[in-house]
Amino acid sequence: MSTTQSERLRELLEPLVNSQGLDLEEIAVDSVGRKRVLSVVVDSDTGADLDQIADVSRALSAKLDETDAMGAGEYTLEVGTPGAERLLKEHRHYVRAVGRLVKFQPVEGDELVARILAVDDEGLDLEVPGVKGRKATSRRLAFSDIDKARVQVEFNRKDNDKSDEQSDAKSDEKEEEA
């Protein structure tokens, strides 16, 4: 039987979030002075848009209103998605981060920054960027060797797949014009 308020809230709200096609990633109750804030983080393999966030927020609010899960006092419900630099904890988080640059803190050894190429049940196939003009190298990292992993923000990443698709689309448009 769950003992903490967060565990009880997770049991109550997770089925509702899942019914909306989303995963309940985190739930936290924080006190800010005399006010309480219930923070709920949701996500899915394809991400979550604002309409989905609004829908799940309304559904959670209604469910919380019909129960006494938050007690009698006032609280604020905040529903959102993981941030850009999300911490990777579950297998599904790694799957969702394929193609992304991630900073790994191994159980042993130095920090590693690499791009996730593939994920399986045992671990990750990574591409470690080359330094000072050197070529990138491949590396395998087992889940058991990872202490922490966090997605990194990339402001100037050149996405070859998207630029190729855009080039193909422009070529198709020019052919249709001719």
pLDDT in tens, 22-64: 999 999 999 888 889 999 999 988 888 899 999 999 999 999 9
Where do you find CATH 3.30.300.70 in the chain? 5-80
Contact 132, 151 (CB under 8 A): no
The pLDDT of residue 86 is above 80: yes
| Fold (topology level) of 91-151 | SH3 type barrels. (2.30.30)
CATH of 5-80, one of 3.40.50.261, 3.40.50.300, 3.40.50.2000, 3.30.300.70: 3.30.300.70
* 40, 27 Cβ separation under 8 angstroms: yes
Contact of 117 with 125, CB cutoff 8 Å: yes
What pLDDT, in 10s, does the model give residues 92-138? 999 999 999 999 999 998 999 999 999 999 999 999 988 888 898 99
Q: HSE on the CB side for 15, CA within 13 Å?
A: 4
Q: According to CATH, where is 2.30.30.100 located in the chain? A: 91-151
- Token output for 144: 């058991």
- What pTM was estimated for this model as a whole? 0.69
